[in-house]
């Protein structure tokens, strides 16, 4: 279904993005990985994708909070692979503080990385997708695109914005062979969430294990984390013919978080 296609996943040097990249590579797609981190570790991961799955993987370190690097990354991928067929706008950051104490630079950074980047990625990839008459834009939003939580003003605002962007992009591309959807994960155990668990454990003077249980109990009725591979599985489904009429939709994968 995606064999031989090119899939660009922003923020795929870690966590959910890396899981999504692995799921698509396993199906024979060429992959563009992106994100920050240790250069040697990233190269090891890139080479491992190629070796394990017999595909081509390209790394581009574009800072997706800015337009020019994303545009250049998409153009580079189109030159190398001939097309960018699937864009997964996944890169994201978090910061937790009440509104009165929320650092202004953190607000700007979260809006740029979690919301503007999805607009930039979509804007850069759509012309090629339109030309070829097929494309998938998959925005990794969050349960926080549907409901709020105290302390997360910037993140919740950005993720609600991602759902709005998803709807508009779906309307503008309806009937063209392109679909645009948003995946809304609940808790997935990645470095982004592990930091929140560690911060809560330290603040409350409890063990990391107890903080992990508290985190799930507060929001996620299944009391189980979703996995990056499960998020990748849903993204892969969105690339199938069965999903061709799903567009503009927020798809929850949150253990029941937003059911209550």
Contact residues: ligand NAD, CB under 6 A? 10-17, 34-37, 63-65, 90-93, 113-114, 140, 142, 185, 187-188, 190-193
Closer to ligand NAD by Cβ: residue 193 or 210:
193
To ligand NAD, the closest distance from the beta carbon of 37 in angstroms equals 6
Residue 59 a catalytic site member:
no
To ligand NAD, the closest distance from the beta carbon of 191 in angstroms equals 4
Q: How far apart are CA 180 and CA 249, in angstroms?
A: 8
- Helix (H), strand (E), coil (C) string for 74-129: HHHHHHHHCCCCEEEECCCCCCCECHHHCCHHHHHHHHHHHHHHHHHHHHHHHHHH
What's the number of CA atoms in the CB half-sphere (13 Å) around residue 160?
10
**Marked catalytic residue, from 120, 155, 187, 225:** 155
List, in order, residues 6 or more apart from 209 with CB less than 8 Å away: none
Residue with tokens 């105290």: 150
To ligand NAD, the closest distance from the beta carbon of 153 in angstroms equals 14
Q: Are 94 and 155 in contact (CB under 8 A)?
A: yes
Closer to ligand NAD by Cβ: residue 36 or 237:
36
Closer to ligand NAD by Cβ: residue 215 or 243:
215
Residue with tokens 């499960």: 230
Q: How far apart are CA 108 and CA 101, in angstroms?
A: 14
To ligand NAD, the closest distance from the beta carbon of 4 in angstroms equals 25
Closest by CA to 129, choosing from 93, 89, 85, is: 85
Closer to ligand NAD by Cβ: residue 17 or 232:
17
Q: List active site positions.
A: 155
């Amino acid at each position: 279904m995606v064999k031989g296609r090119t899939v660009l996943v922003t923020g795929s040097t870690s966590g959910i993005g890396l899981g999504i990249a692995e799921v698509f590579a396993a199906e024979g797609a060429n992959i563009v990985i992106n994100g920050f981190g240790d250069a040697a570790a990233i190269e090891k991961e890139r080479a491992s994708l190629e070796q394990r799955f017999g595909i081509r993987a390209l790394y581009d370190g574009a800072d997706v909070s800015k337009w020019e690097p994303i545009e250049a990354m998409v153009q580079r991928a189109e030159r190398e692979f001939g097309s960018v067929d699937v864009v997964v706008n996944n890169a994201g950051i978090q910061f937790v503080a009440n509104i009165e104490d929320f650092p202004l630079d953190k607000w700007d950074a979260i809006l740029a990385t979690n919301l503007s980047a999805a607009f930039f990625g979509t804007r850069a990839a759509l012309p090629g997708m339109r030309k070829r008459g097929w494309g998938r834009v998959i925005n990794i939003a969050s349960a926080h695109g549907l409901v709020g939580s105290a302390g997360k003003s910037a993140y919740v605002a950005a993720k609600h914005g991602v759902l709005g962007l998803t709807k508009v992009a779906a309307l503008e591309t309806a009937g063209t062979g392109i679909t645009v959807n948003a995946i809304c994960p609940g808790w997935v155990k990645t470095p982004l969430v592990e930091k929140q668990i560690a911060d809560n454990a330290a603040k409350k003077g409890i063990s990391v294990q107890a903080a992990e249980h508290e985190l799930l109990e507060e929001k996620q009725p299944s009391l189980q984390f979703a996995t990056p591979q499960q998020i990748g599985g849903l993204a892969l489904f969105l690339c199938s013919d069965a999903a061709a009429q799903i567009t503009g939709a927020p798809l929850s994968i949150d253990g029941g978080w937003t059911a209550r």
